Chains A and B, each alone.
Chain A
């Protein structure tokens, strides 16, 4: 190759190639424990299966499951987790790699994972080894409220903590682009504090809105999936058939139907450089692992560049093609509202931000202090 010919001084143009990513990572987090939160684990496992099907290898998926529904004694179908009452697809399957389990799922561990401030003995499979060429999908589900998400009934992560963690990641060039997805009550408040560029955020419900479950399986005995996740998955499973899909994030966002989701999903474009740019991103840029693969003959021998991604993708894809049809049929059936409207466990925590409430609160506090003072005064008389 003759470089000198190509080295003609040209106008300094911004490098178009700089907008490429070379690897995809997924951080899938459920934050709630206990049997009646079955659906949160099912949400996460459904998404896990989808990204695996679309080609993200297990080593690049961080799965956080705070409880083990498959082995719960109350599970009538031991060893399985289903996300649908037809029980066509066992999400737990035979090939699940859970990275953080049980009490390991804490706010601290989550922040450590994102910022990679982990001990030296942390195995590589539990670390987010991303660089400035990695796209990250962060999906969280659990019980939340205004600007917080509860972890395991014990602690909570606030929107500020999340924003700071992502801010540090951006400073250290730990991601190229990020899709933040959250399915919880008042979910849209969780991404309201973000300030780092190149984050596309979407949530299931606005402030003061609950996020609802889709339907329950009477034999399992609890709700099996949340609405927002359900309709995201419906799009991903029926529209995005294989890694060559050209569908965009815009198509995904357009598929959100407030009537079906029963809450108003939010999308935040401003950090991503406007809705135009964000909507043009392919769904596969976040949910799959498609890279610009080079196929060529190097040095005259039979070297070829092929894409990693692996058999798990192919395997999952096969499984998918077996299941997608019945599933699609099921979706139509389930869209009938009467049965699916089960408002179970939708925790609503109001933490008003407006001034009147704050004034009330302050007045109450001052009143208490006043009564106390008065009491002490009387006593000392």
Chain B
């Protein structure tokens, strides 16, 4: 610095004007200051490159957890799990003899011949009667025997020898999965014969019992991607149309449904109802039997002075039947959705509405004109029951459980319909277990397809952040799916359903992760516009200094 200032002084001397032109150069820098300058430039660059750049990259990077994309896609394409439904059917014979074994074999043979849907397979097993089981029978466990009270048994056939009546004949117990088959002892096939009336009868009976289930499952498989299409039997158009309608009516699967029971009355009465007892008596048993599939929450309400929508045609008095009538086409307007407080958004699941309407005693009885009915079902929404009270006088101020009984019967029927329970066979536990299998399969499909969707979104939209819990949920989904699939193959349907449900919940959680909303798209021009004013003033001196220094190095070198 001192040298420079001296030079400046000398410049001012006029005598040296000419000499200045040639010698007006700074004196050579000392090595020290040269290196000092280089070091300082370098240190600035080091800060930018090693601190600034990583911080910028780190803070602007979108965190995307690793997902097993390959596996997810395979699940979605149905390559991993091909659902099969091996149903165990226990046969309880009066005496376990070689003849019974032979009957079983013949029946199994006949069954396999009729069955044209390979994924759904009925396996007959000889059962030990739980009560009469003695020591010698319990020792035998060769895989063809099974305890008849095992929960994985789909159906128990009791062979009962009788002397009278037409044989063979069968009776399906309505409240337990048991088929009683009556036969005359001479219908047991002998060891030598290859067929028998009893075996054929049993096979036919079983086939027709599970026909609707097979149709439902086949329909389900056919609606899923082509991976399964090959081995699925084709359904006739009428059957699939009917199944389609059934699925249209039924509620979409949800882990929890919210049931709302509402009492609407056009006047001040009835203002109370014994709904708690009524629900406990009529609805709770049904909900309990469904509890393996979905959970339910229930609330009730009483609404007085509930009027019809003004635009709706008022009920008309029919002289012939001495009743007030509603026309069928007006039923859709019966529920005054604008003013009646329905769909309360309580609870997690979708709301199913059940409405009891008690008409004013001046307008009672109130019936549907076309068929003199008093209840109807609204697909995927709920049901309505008009409760016409018998009393001639004033409407009572409270409704007893007995008064509510017809409404509760209607609602339980409607709930069964809405829940997607198959229409046959007549045994409720059998229908519920069918629904279990159908739900398990459809949940596996839907969870798999959600995984596929997540994989697609992950691949297609790189701007979406994917937090770690999505990856965790994905892994849990895959584990549950695998377990569900394994249980399905083993014929352990309740456990399969349980895991399928868990898989569905986890898959939904992964896909609908709240933070997975991408950054809004910016065109490149916008990015330039943002970064240039910010980085330009910093970058220019840095670049210029570096260039200048490089040039001087080159000149020296």
Contact = CB atoms under 8 A, between A and B. Distances in A.
A20 interface: yes
User: What 5 A-B pairs are tightest by C-beta distance, nearest first?
Assistant: A302-B373, A311-B309, A3-B211, A171-B453, A17-B244
B118 to A, nearest CB: 12
Interface of B: 116, 207-208, 211-212, 214-215, 222-223, 229, 232-241, 244-245, 248-249, 252, 308-312, 328, 331-338, 343, 345, 350, 368, 371-381, 410, 413-414, 417, 423-424, 449-450, 452-453, 456-457, 460-461, 511-518, 520-521, 523, 525, 528, 532, 536, 540-541, 544, 548
A282 interface: no
A90 interface: no
B517 A301 contact: no
Given A171-B456, A310-B335, A311-B338, A302 B241 contact: no
6 contacts: A3-B212, A59-B343, A164-B518, A171-B457, A314-B312, A380-B544
Nearest to B336: A311
Contact of B208 (A3, A8, A303): A3
A205 to B, nearest CB: 21
Contact of A376 (B345, B452, B516, B544): B544
B310 A302 contact: no
Interface in A264-298: 291-295, 297-298
A369 B544 CA distance: 13
A7 B309 contact: no
Contacts of A123: 345
A303 B375 contact: yes
Given A15-B222, A310-B332, A372-B540, A9 B374 contact: no
A311 B333 contact: yes
A301 B411 CA distance: 12
B379 A305 contact: yes
A168 interface: yes
A13 B234 contact: yes
Interface of A: 1-4, 6-13, 15-18, 20, 22-23, 57-59, 95, 107-108, 111-112, 115-119, 123-125, 129, 131, 133, 155, 157-158, 160-161, 164, 167-168, 171-173, 291-295, 297-299, 301-315, 317-318, 361, 365, 369, 372-373, 376-377, 380
Contact of B520 (A107, A129, A303): A107
B115 to A, nearest CB: 10
Given A7-B116, A171-B457, A304-B376, 15 more contacts: A8-B236, A10-B237, A16-B237, A125-B345, A167-B457, A291-B379, A294-B245, A301-B373, A303-B413, A304-B328, A305-B379, A311-B311, A311-B334, A365-B528, A373-B544
Nearest to B372: A302
A326 to B, nearest CB: 19
A198 to B, nearest CB: 15
A11 B414 contact: no
Nearest to B463: A164
B211 A7 contact: yes
Contacts of B223: 15, 18
Given A307-B332, A372-B536, A22 B211 contact: no
Contacts of A318: 311
A312 B331 contact: no
